[in-house]
Amino acid sequence: MSTIRVTVCLTAACFLGVNLTVSQGEDLPKVSRADVEKMIGQLSNWGRWGDADELGTLNLITPRKRREAAALVKAGVSVSMAHDAVKIEMDSSSPFEHEVSINRNAKDVGGAGDRYSVSYHGFTHTHIDALCHVFYKDRMYNGLSADLVTKTGAGRLSIHAVKRGIFTRGVLMDMPALFGVRYLEGNKAIYPRDLEAWEKKAGFKVSSGDALLIHTGRWTRRKVEGKWEIMKNSAGLHVSCLPWLKERDVAIVGSDLALDVMPSGCPEIELPVHLGVVYGLGSCILDVCDFRAVAKEARQRRRWTFLLNVCPLAVEGGTGSPINPIATF
């Protein structure tokens, strides 16, 4: 059967003149490498905060934004958005290794200590991606050379730049609640229209300096369905959301998997949203969060905004860090 190609307009993507096409019988618009490159080029934050910038869109979290976020604390109830450390191999990621040393002495003081070891990038461990985590054609955010990253660490854009932590308004985009399901099935793509539909339903609007948290229900799906091929069949943002993120001046984006819908609709670039967010916009990403508890709390309170606090490890040269993001209502 021949393919019918129809040009579609997805909010701000039209402004960029990017042609997104949808094939008959398919829901996912297709984009080319050239489309993605053009979009990233026009949305780029390179130079916005100067050549020496290492924070990217975290610059949008101003003292005023922090005060506004702090004022959201009404009940004093905090919820973790980290998944428990996974000590077995899961979803193509290595396990969190944990060794305990014990010093017992029945007649004197004893104690115990730990050694943790984890390769946290991937699909299993809750973590933050630093701006040095993503390269494209041997360049990083702000045009910096990938040569700055060596086996001893990153000379620029490392997680150490985020040592002061992230303290801002978190907004939970509760996609299962929007669509009336327990979790998003298959490779369900989330478009700008869906984000705006949730804003309307939840009664808020994403604004400059916010942390945008995309709840797809990944961990509920994992519990119900078991293991699946993540890169071939996972829900997430479509690349047409990139202009929307730029328009709203989002400070940081997070999800319960790897942000992108997979497959992405761009055969030449596996994770175009990841690329556009880190490399183009200069935004760190909170990956593999567990939003089940915060979604339950938000639904009970009928309130999907809260104070978000994220404190990465202070590692010079690190490409990211394991994290335990905290929402406080």
> Under a CB-based contact definition with an 8 Å cutoff, are residues 129 and 166 in contact?
no
The size of the chain, in residues, is 329
Residue 239 lies in a domain: yes
The whole-model pTM stands at 0.92
What Cα–Cα distance (Å) separates residue 329 from each residue in 82, 101, 325? 17, 38, 13
> Under a CB-based contact definition with an 8 Å cutoff, are residues 329 and 301 in contact?
yes
Residue 13 lies in a domain: no
Q: Which two tokens stand for residue 158?
A: 């490392």
Residue 11 lies in a domain: no
Residue 157: give its domain's CATH number.
Answer: 3.50.30.50
Residue 285, pLDDT score: 98
Residue 165, pLDDT score: 98
> Under a CB-based contact definition with an 8 Å cutoff, are residues 81 and 294 in contact?
yes
To which H or E segment does residue 211 belong? strand 211-215
Residue 96 lies in a domain: no
> Chain-centre distance of CA 183, in angstroms?
18
Q: Which two tokens stand for residue 251?
A: 């400070």
Residue 116 lies in a domain: no
Q: Is the peptide bond before 263 cis (omega within 30 degrees of 0)?
A: yes
Q: State the residue range of the domain holding 56.
A: 36-83+126-328
Residue 140 lies in a domain: yes
Residue 165, phi then psi, degrees to nearest 5 = 85, 175
Number of domains in the chain: 1
Q: How many CB atoms lie within 10 A of CB 44?
A: 18
Residue 243 lies in a domain: yes
Given phi > 0 = left and psi -120 to 50 = alpha, else beta, which region is 174? beta
> Chain-centre distance of CA 275, in angstroms?
11
Residue 92, pLDDT score: 87
> Under a CB-based contact definition with an 8 Å cutoff, are residues 298 and 304 in contact?
yes
Give the residue carrying structure tokens 């494209």. 136
Residue 65 lies in a domain: yes
Report how far apart the first and last C-alpha atoms of the chain are (Å, whole number).
53
> Under a CB-based contact definition with an 8 Å cutoff, are residues 192 and 10 in contact?
yes
Beta-sheet pairing, 252-255 with 285-287:
parallel
Q: What is the mean pLDDT of each run of 10 residues along the chain (329 residues)?
A: 33 46 52 96 98 98 98 98 96 94 94 96 97 98 98 98 98 98 97 98 97 98 97 97 98 98 95 98 98 98 98 98 98
